[in-house]
Amino acid sequence: MSSKAMTVAGVMSGTSADGIDVAVVRITAGEAAPRVTLLAHEGFPFSAALRQAVLAAMNAAATSTSELARLNWRLGIAYAEAVKTTIERHQVKLGEAKLDLIGCHGQTLFHQPQAVAYAGRNFACTWQTGEAAVIAATLGTPVVSNFRPADMAAGGQGAPLVPLLDYVLFADATRGRVLQNIGGIANLTAIPAGAKPEQVIAFDSGPGNMVMDALTQELFGKPFDRNGAYAAEGTVLEEVLESALQNPYFQLKPPRTAGREQFGREYSEKFLMVCKGLSAKPEDALATATALTAETIAGSYKRFARQHMKGCAVDWIVSGGGARNLRLMAMLAERLVPMGCKLAASEEFGMPAEAKEAAAFALLAWQTWHRLPGNVPSATGATRPMILGQVTYA
């Protein structure tokens, strides 16, 4: 493998469908693991029209091939523009560094990690959209995309794929680390002190911002509950919370993954209807949705990961948009500190909360470029390590 450092851009748009995150990193081969250094990052909200198109495709009971084809190309244009703008804004910081590679996760429109019958066969499947050829041609840089299918073809759930970066950046000889991402869906990576990659476990705990955002949009006409201000004015409806925690998803043992199929629009509408049946105060519904995210994160850790940490001190490192929700963070602290966890933001470890997932796909692209596996089978459930993604040349 070449020891030459590569400058790689990672591009991510998640289940919240609120925009695009770009992280530009420098990656160099190391003896035990690659070394990743963040150079620049930016966030770009989707235009109202593009977000509406993405959400419509995600939630569609039926759509047309023309709509899907147009969305695929439109997202490719948006991803290319986001990377181009990031490079331009940080040209001084990047200096003479040339962009060598791009890793683009794409926008998940459908993710079915369990086998379901279709046209006479049972199989799992996934679909991320955003035309890589548009990105490669626009920027003159090869693109690695479509990361999830290879893991699923090997029996995995195609997610989570961030654990490789979590291990590379945060594994520690003496302290346990839990890397908690709170995007639309919440997922955690648990790394015991002194762990080897095969000892890492990771899984989706359930809703992150998804239900909270849906309720904020419906009740207050805002895209999200900034700083958790609305939730802080409400009271948790314990009856609703206890009922929601009976959802069979929360009893599933890892590996497990979730998305809008489990906690999207239909789920949020039913959740809100139950809340309104007990309280006319909209802040109570939002406080309850926030508590659901906190409770399922903490409960999942207690049930499925805590025993793997071997009783050592644990740093709980939070990233994603949920890290900015002060009410959610307070609820998490109430539940996690008694279990010996010390909460911290990923910024304290050199990786801004909004940049980590995008940086993960930059690293995965680097792995693919060097014909190295990118999945962590203990996290996804795959039968073996797999080289992920497809390369589109410029």
d(CA 296, CA 328): 12
pLDDT at residue 1 in the model? 57
**Are 187 and 390 contacting, i.e. CB atoms less than 8 angstroms apart?**
no
d(CA 252, CA 250): 6
Task: Classify domain 6-160+355-392 by CATH architecture.
Answer: 2-Layer Sandwich (3.30)
Parallel/antiparallel/unpaired status of strands 143-145 and 390-392: antiparallel
pLDDT at residue 3 in the model? 66
List where CATH 3.30.420.40 sits in the chain: 6-160+355-392, 163-349
pLDDT at residue 230 in the model? 98
Mean pLDDT by groups of 10 residues along the chain of 394 residues: 84 89 95 91 96 89 93 98 96 82 96 94 96 98 98 95 94 94 93 92 95 97 96 98 97 90 93 97 98 98 93 91 94 96 89 91 98 95 97 96
The two structure tokens encoding residue 133 = 């050829």
d(CA 197, CA 194): 10
d(CA 262, CA 260): 5
pLDDT at residue 376 in the model? 94
Measure CA 322 to chain center.
11
In eight-state DSSP terms, residue 175 is: S
pLDDT at residue 245 in the model? 98
**Radius of gyration from C-alpha coordinates of the chain:** 20
* Beta partners for residue 45, in sequence order: 19
Q: Provide the 3-class DSSP secondary structure of residue 200.
A: coil
Please tell me the number of Cα atoms within 13 Å of 144 on its side-chain side. 28
CATH superfamily for domain 163-349: ATPase, nucleotide binding domain (3.30.420.40)
CA–CA distance from 7 to each of 69, 165, 187 (Å)? 31, 16, 27
Residue 248: count other Cβ atoms within 10 Å of its Cβ.
Answer: 7
- Name the strand (E) or helix (H) holding 129: strand 121-129
Nearest partner of 348 among 190, 170, 200, judged by Cα: 170
pLDDT at residue 97 in the model? 76
